Structure 1
Amino acid sequence: MQTIPKWMQGLAVTVGGHGVVSHVGTAGLRMLAFKSGLSGELTAALRVRGRQVVHDRGQVLSDLGVMIADGGTAIRHIRTLRDQGELFGPVASASTAWRALEEVTARQRDKIAAARAKARRRVWELIAARHGSVPASRTCYGDLGEWIVIRLDATIQLCHSDKEAAAGTFKGSYGLFPLTAWCDNTGECLAIKLRPGNAGANTICDHLEVLAAAIAQIPPKHRGRILITCDGAGATIELLAFITTLNTRSRRAHYSVGFDLDERARSAITALPADVWSCVLDDAGQARDRQEAGTAELTGLLRHSAGGDKLATWPAGMRILVRREKPASGAKLTDFEKARGWRYQLIATNTPAAALPLQQGEARHRVHARVEDFIRCGKNTGLASLPSWSLAINQAWCIAAAIGCDLLSWLRLLCCEAELAIAEPSTLRYTLLHTSARLVRGQRRRTIKIPHTWPWAH
């Protein structure tokens, strides 16, 4: 006979509890949207003169962002808030949320972006007040100080063929190919643009649009030092030329991007003397064995070699760095790499050598890989699921998902400590957002009583 486990003994389920609510941490997230000014700015941005609605569209969009941050993956999941009116008050229905997303036009997207930028300006002031400054971007050799780092990268959103603009991707899958921009300092999603699945990885008009939108999200007082990074697929002459034009007397705009291992680069690598290779820094900032990995600069050979300037069409001041490493088992190599026994990665940057030594330049670009973590967390916060066949509605949904990503970043930076200050969305949901508690009324107040036994009750 099977023994009944101790935790099951005497356990019964009845209907009759009262005053118990769940997702109480999400109420804090909704309060953060209000106190930061985000909800109010969205309300003002989406208000239509002469039109009366039961649920103003700015609050609906804000609630969608909160719901997505809470883990919602479909518009109908707004019931998570709506079904707990005792805690959240009146919340729009799923059908109203659908209409709100459907009404977002291109002009309204611009207004929403301006509203997010205004709220972000206030939040960054609060972040600086709490931490002393906006967090600096980290590298293995130290942080980048006052530099604000914008990381660009595209990602594949898998979806069915009935969705508008869905197409075959370069990886053989099917879906869309949005381009995203993230702030490395804070983890915020600054901009996102949905694109067809067969969109080019280096489509310049898309990169310029997303980059301009991302820079507009950075508060003006923090735009004095901006670093833009992307991988080799997104690096083009036009993009680097545009970044170069952003430099003024009061603003420095630098880039660190991947560069193609083309014929001119291969010739320069072949011409490099063996003793010019320097060691690279590991994740702890310590030098690695040069027999395992090395780095060198190709700028002199490419700019001033006997064959003339091989980078004449590229912006002046661009440096080319190269990293080589012994390839791992199963790595995909070109014929050139197979013949030499090294795997190569090229980096283009306009940061002068006096301000950025060779080893630091290679290490600074290597942490661009953090954008993959941002995208992974973004896909865990609404970006992996598109609710409609309509591209316009899906774009509006992505804006709500970006708001959700921002709210989680603000929660970490303004309200959390220790391990929760760097926690990923799933951890924040388990420890804070999805907490259940009693809601007690008395003396014209409502009090949320969190159980003492909950490990994160404090």
Structure 2
Amino acid sequence: MTITDAIHQAVLKVPASAWTPAAEPDGDIREGAWIAELAGDCLTGWPKGLRLIVRKERPHPGAQLRFTDADGMRLTCFATNTAGEAIAALELRHWQRARAEDRIRAARATGLRNLPLHDTAQNQIWLEIVQIALDLLAWMPLLTLTGRARLWEPRRLRLRLFSTAAQLFTTGRRRYLRLAEHWPWTDVITDALDRLHALPNPG
């Protein structure tokens, strides 16, 4: 939700002891991220039982801070009426939902902004194809990429990996893929292919 001036002032008054380290899905502590629950005047006039959770985290290199940020930390917050749940669990649930929303945004940019065909059945086939492509885009980085490459958007994946010039040839009954040595992301592609081949065969 939007950080109003009242919420921003409430965040500045949160004591250091009230901040709890944010959690990763596997239970580990998320480095550089803390959360706290706000109370007091900033919730005046809100529905009873509403909880306001704020997160502060170190911005990634090169990120521009906003005037609502504080002490060099990026601030975000959300409201929930879920009672009896630890704020770390609530923040993790919200963070994972944000990843789902990000997938939806990527889907709209990839092929779901407009239905290209006139017939309903044809558009249904188009949607199925796009959904298959989105599944591949979701799983491929998780299974084959490491580091920041895992966070690349579909457009960046297309420009850096999928549009790479290469030559496919067969010799000695074996098929080879020859990539351009000068391409900056050749190592990313070859490492990804090695990890793909190393995955266990489900059959």
How many residue pairs match? The answer is 142
CA 1:349–1:387: 2 relative to 1, 3 Å = same
Q: Could you say which residue in structure 2 is the equivalent of 1:370?
A: 100
User: Which amino acid is 2:82 matched to?
Assistant: T
Give the CA deviation at 1:302: 2.5
User: Which amino acid is 1:350 matched to?
Assistant: N
Give the CA deviation at 1:401: 6.2
Confirm or deny: 8 A CA contact 1:321 1:358 kept in the other structure.
Answer: yes
TM-score scaled by length of structure 2: 0.55
Q: Could you say which residue in structure 1 is the equivalent of 2:136?
A: 424
Instruction: Say which SS state the counterpart of residue 340 (structure 1) adopts.
Output: coil
Please, which of 49, 55, 58 is the counterpart of residue 317 of structure 1?
49
Q: Cα deviations across residues 229-250 of structure 1 (Å, max 9, x unaligned)?
A: xxxxxxxxxxxxxxxxxxxxxx
Confirm or deny: 8 A CA contact 1:321 1:346 kept in the other structure.
Answer: yes
Q: Could you say which residue in structure 1 is the equivalent of 2:33?
A: 293
Q: Could you say which residue in structure 2 is the equivalent of 1:282?
A: 24
CA 1:358–1:302: 2 relative to 1, 3 Å = same
Distance in 2 of aligned mates of 1:336 and 1:278: 20
1:387 aligns with 2:99: no
Confirm or deny: 8 A CA contact 2:68 2:75 kept in the other structure.
Answer: no
Distance in 2 of aligned mates of 1:335 and 1:375: 26
Distance in 2 of aligned mates of 1:285 and 1:330: 28
Q: Cα deviations across residues 117-163 of structure 1 (Å, max 9, x unaligned)?
A: xxxxxxxxxxxxxxxxxxxxxxxxxxxxxxxxxxxxxxxxxxxxxxx
CA 1:276–1:397: 2 relative to 1, 3 Å = farther
Distance in 2 of aligned mates of 1:324 and 1:426: 27
Q: Could you say which residue in structure 1 is the equivalent of 2:128?
A: 404
1:328 aligns with 2:52: no
The 5 Å alignment of 1:174-323 reads 259-288=1-30, 292-303=32-43, 309=44, 312=45, 314-323=46-55
Give the CA deviation at 1:426: 10
Give the CA deviation at 1:326: 1.3
User: Which amino acid is 2:92 matched to?
Assistant: A
CA 1:425–1:335: 2 relative to 1, 3 Å = closer
Q: Could you say which residue in structure 1 is the equivalent of 2:89?
A: 360
Instruction: Say which SS state the counterpart of residue 34 (structure 2) adopts.
Output: strand
CA 1:398–1:272: 2 relative to 1, 3 Å = farther
**Uncovered stretches (5+) of structure 1, i.e. residues with no partner:** 1-258, 304-308, 409-421, 428-455
Instruction: Say which SS state the counterpart of residue 293 (structure 1) adopts.
Output: strand
Which entry has the higher C-alpha Rg, 1 or 2? 1
**Uncovered stretches (5+) of structure 2, i.e. residues with no partner:** 140-200
Give the CA deviation at 1:360: 0.6
Give the CA deviation at 1:316: 2.9
% same residue: 26
Confirm or deny: 8 A CA contact 2:112 2:127 kept in the other structure.
Answer: no
1:349 aligns with 2:80: yes
Higher RCO structure (Cα 8 Å, ≥6 apart): 1
Q: Could you say which residue in structure 1 is the equivalent of 2:194?
A: none
Q: Cα deviations across residues 53-83 of structure 1 (Å, max 9, x unaligned)?
A: xxxxxxxxxxxxxxxxxxxxxxxxxxxxxxx
TM-score scaled by length of structure 1: 0.27
